[in-house]
Chains A and B, each alone.
Chain A
Amino acid sequence: MKSILKITIALGFIMTLTSCWTDKSKRNYQYMPDMYKSVGYETYSQNPNFANGMTTQLPAEGSIARGQVPYDYPNTNEGYEDAKLNSKNPLEVNEENLANGKKMYDIYCISCHGQNGAGDGVLVQRDKFLGVPNYKDREITEGSIYHVIMYGRNMMGSHASQLTAKERWEVTMYVEQLRTELLK
C-alpha cells in the first residue's frame, strides 16, 4: 500500500512540474536572469526619460548624418515638376545595380505595380488597392520616379523609410527598364 501512495505522490509532483508553463500568452519564467535584461536602452525599447516614452527619438531638424545627402526638391507639385526635368540618376547603369533594383522592386513595388509594371500586382488583382497605373500610360522620367519613391504621390505613400538613397536610384533604374519594355 505504501508504494501506491508513493507512486501517486511522485506522479502528482511530476504532473505539477510539467504543467507549469501553460499560459502561452505570458513568458516562461527564468532562472537567475543575470545579464538577460539590457542595462542600456535598446533600439525599440520603451524609455521613461522621454515624453513620448520611446528610445527612438527624431534627429534635430537640418542635421546631416555622415554619408547622407539630403534631397533638395521639396514635396510639392512644383518640386515634382522640377525633379522631373532636372533630377538625374547619379548611378551608373550596370548589371549589378539593375539586379539589386529588381530585387528591391520585387519586395517594395510588386504588390501593387505588378511584376512588369503594368499595374496588375496581387493587391490590384484582389481588388484591395485599385487604380494603379501602367508605367507606359504616364509620362515619367528618372527624376520623377525617384521623387515619387521619396515622397509618394496622391495615394502612394513615401518609401524613403524602407529604401536607402542608393536603392531608390536602383529601383528607378529598373522601373525605367520595365517602362521601355512595356512601351515596345
Chain B
Amino acid sequence: MLLNTTFVKSFKNDLSHIFLHENIVPNNNEKIFLSMKSVKQHSPLSRLIISSLAFLLFFSLNLSAQEGDAANGEKIFKSVCAACHKLDKKLVGPALQGVTERRDQDWLIAWIKDSPGMIKSGDKLAIQVFEENNRLPMTANPQLSDQDIIDVLAYTKGDSAAPVAAASQQAADPGVELGKAVFKANCAACHKLEGKLIGPELLKITDKRELSWLKLWIKDNNALAASGDKLAIEVQASNPAAMTPFPQLSDEDIDNVLKYLAVGDVEQAVASSASSTDQEIFDNPGFGVLPTLALTILAFILLSVIVAATTNKKVVEGEESTPSMLKTMIFNPFLRFLVIIFVLLGGAWMVFGYLFQIDVNEGYQPIQPIAFSHAVHAGDNKIDCQYCHSSAKHSKTSGIPTLNVCMNCHKSISEYNGALFGDYSKEDLDNEIQKIYDAVGWDKDNVAYIEGFEQKPIEWVRIHNLADFAYYNHAQHVTVAGLDCQKCHGPVETMHEMKQFSPLTMGWCIDCHRQTEVDMTENGYYKNIHDQLSKKYGVEKITEAQMGGLECGKCHY
C-alpha cells in the first residue's frame, strides 16, 4: 500500500519538474547562466538579478512542491502520526494545525525524517522543540518519502474539508450504487477500495488520475500502453501482475464505477437499533399465541363435558330443576373437588418456586457508578475478555481492571463516537469517560496526569457473589480447564449493562461438574491419573465428578 502511494507521489513530483522546465526556465535560461558567472564578479546589478531570479525559482519550486495531496496526507497521518499528534489538540506531541506557517518546510521534512539525529547534530530549533515538549523524543520516520511528508503537511493545513463536502454531494448520485455493483462483480477480485490486493487500492483514484485516462485504461490497458502512453507504461511496470482488459464494460458502467471509487462506501445513516425490539421478540417468542388458544379451548371443552356429565346425572335423579350454567358449575361437587386439587397443587408449586429462588440472584443488574458497556468494548471492539480481566488466568479472583488499564486506551479516546445505546446521548457517554479522568487525575486538554492529584478508586458494584463458605478459583477453570467466559457469565459481549446470567447455585455447579469431561491429553499432571481412573471406571472420558469434583472439601473445606 505504502509502496504504491509513494510511487504515485514520486511520479507527481517528476511531473512538476517537467512543468517547471517548460514554464519558467526556457525564458530565462540564458540569463541564469549569465548571472551565474556574475556572482563571482559581485556586480550589484547581477546580484540583484540573480537574487530575484533565485527567489522566483525558489518560490515557484516551493509552490509546486507544496501542492501536497491532502487526502493521501490524511491517510499517512492516521497511520504514522496520529498515535502522538492531533490536528487541533495537544496529544503526546503538539497540535499540528498550521505548523507549516510556523516552521520552514525543509526543516519540517528533515525533522520528521530524523528528529533524534537533528537534536544530536545540535540544530538549535530542534533542541528548542525537544525541550518544549517535555523532552519526549519524536520517533524518526525514515521510511517516509519527501512527497509523503509534503502530503502530510498539506493535510495539516486542514484544507480537506472541500473534497469531503464534494463527496457527500456525490453520494446522492444513484450511479454510485450501480458502480458499486459493477465494482464488486468485475474489480473486487483484484482491487479493494482501501488497501492493496493484487492491484493497488482504488479509493479516490479519481483524484490522482485523469478520468479520460482511467476510462481508456480500464477498457484496455494493454492497448493504451501500446499506443505509447507514458503513464500507462509506467503503471504497468510498477505492478508485476497484468490487469485484465474490460472491453465489455460500457462507458456508463465505467463512469459509475469511477463515481463509486471517488466516494467509497457511504455509511448508512439509518440506525440499526430501531429493529432491536422486534428482534428481541423474534428471538424470545415466549409462549406462542396459537398453542395458548388451543389449550384454552381444550380446557373449556373438558370443563363443559365434566359439567354436563355430572349435572345430567343429578337432573335425572330430580335433585335440581332448571339451574343456570354458572350455578351448576359452582355447586357441582366433582368440579369443586377438581378445583381444590388444582389450587393445592398450584399453591404448592408456587410456594416451592418461591422458596427455591431465595438468595438466587439470576438477572441481578445493579446500577454501576460508570455506565460501562461490555457490548461496546468486548462486542463491537472485540477486546479480549482477559485484556481487562487479566488476573483470571493466574488468580482465584478475576479482578476488576484497575484504572491504568482504562487509561491504556482512553488516553487517546476521550470521546465516544460509536453507536448510541440505552437512553444515553453522546454527551452523557463523553461524561462517563470523563469520570475515569476525574478518578485518576487526567487532564485531557494537556494530555498529562495532574501532578499531586489524589486519586480516588471507582466503587464498582459487585454482581457475582458467592457466599464466603464456598471456594471458587478462576485460574483453574479458565487456564487449566479452558472454559469460555460465556459458559458461566453468559453473552457478556452483548450486554450494555452487566447482569448475572447464571444462578451460581450449588446445583448449577454440580450439574456442570457431572457433565464436563476433563481434557487430560495436554496436561502432564494427568498422565498417570488418566490411565488409572479410566481403568477404574472402565471409561475413556473422565468427568469432573469422577475426579472427586463433587467432594464437599473441594469447595467448602
Measured CB to CB, the residues of A under 8 A from B are: 1, 3-4, 6-7, 10-11, 13-14, 17-18, 20-21, 24-31, 33, 35-39, 43-44, 46, 52-54, 77, 106-108, 110-111, 119, 122-123, 126-133, 137-138, 152, 154-159, 161-164
* Chain B contacts for A27, CB-based, 8 A: 361, 364
Partner of B84, one of A128, A131, A163: A131
Question: Which of B92, B382, B462 has its CB near the most chain A CB atoms (within 10 A)?
Answer: B382
Interface stretch, picked from B6-14, B73-81, B102-110, B163-171, is B73-81
List 8 contacting pairs A-B, 8 Å CB cutoff, sorted by A: A14-B347, A35-B468, A46-B459, A108-B390, A111-B381, A128-B417, A133-B83, A161-B390
5 A-B pairs with the lowest CB-CB distances in the bound complex, closest first: A131-B83, A157-B408, A131-B82, A130-B82, A162-B390
In the assembled complex, the CB of A115 is this many whole angstroms from the nearest CB of chain B, namely 12
Task: Say yes or no: B80 contacts A24, CB within 8 Å.
Answer: no
**Chain B's nearest CB lies how many Å from the CB of A173?**
18
- B354 near A17: Cβ-Cβ < 8 Å: yes
B144 closest partner in A (C-beta):
A137
Which residues of B pack against A, CB within 8 Å?
Answer: 78-85, 91-92, 135-137, 139, 141, 143, 330, 336, 339-340, 343, 346-347, 350-351, 353-354, 357-361, 363-367, 380-384, 386-387, 390, 394, 397, 399-400, 402, 404-405, 407-409, 411-413, 417, 456-457, 459, 462, 467-469, 499
Contacts of A107 in B (CB 8 A): 384, 386-387
Set of chain A residues within 8 Å of B347, measured between Cβ atoms: 10, 13-14
| Contact with A30, one of B350, B359, B382, B390 (Cβ below 8 angstroms) | B359
Of the listed residues B366, B367, B383, the one surrounded by the most CB atoms of chain A closer than 10 A to its CB is B383
Measured CA separation A4–B402 after assembly (Å): 60
Cβ distance B514 to chain A, nearest Cβ, rounded Å:
26
Chain A interface main SS type? loop
Contact A157 B381 (CB under 8 A): no
Q: Are B467 and A36 in contact (CB under 8 A)?
A: yes
**CB nearest to A21 among chain B residues:** B357
Q: A21-B357, A25-B365 are in contact. List 20 more A-B contacts (CB 8 A).
A: A7-B339, A14-B346, A14-B351, A25-B367, A28-B364, A43-B397, A44-B399, A52-B456, A53-B457, A108-B386, A111-B381, A111-B384, A111-B387, A122-B382, A126-B380, A155-B412, A157-B411, A158-B404, A159-B408, A161-B402
Tell me whether A111 and B83 are in contact (CB under 8 A): no
| In contact, A123 and B409 (Cβ under 8 angstroms) | yes
Q: Which residues of B contact A159 (CB under 8 A)?
A: 408
Whether B468 and A36, one on each chain, are in contact in the complex, defined by CB atoms closer than 8 angstroms, is: yes
What CA separation (Å) do A108 and B408 show in the bound complex?
Answer: 11
Find the A residue at minimum CB distance from B402.
Answer: A161
Whether the pair A28, B360 counts as a contact (CB closer than 8 A) is yes
> A24 near B363 (CB under 8 angstroms)?
yes
Kindly report which residue of chain B lies nearest to residue A110, judged by CB atoms: B384
Q: Tell me whether B413 and A130 are in contact (CB under 8 A).
A: no
Q: How far is the CA of A151 from the CA of B381 in the complex (A)?
A: 24
B136 neighbours in A (Cβ, 8 Å): 77, 154
Judge whether B404 and A157 touch: CB under 8 Å.
yes
Q: What residues of B have a CB within 8 angstroms of the CB of A33 in the complex?
A: 359, 467
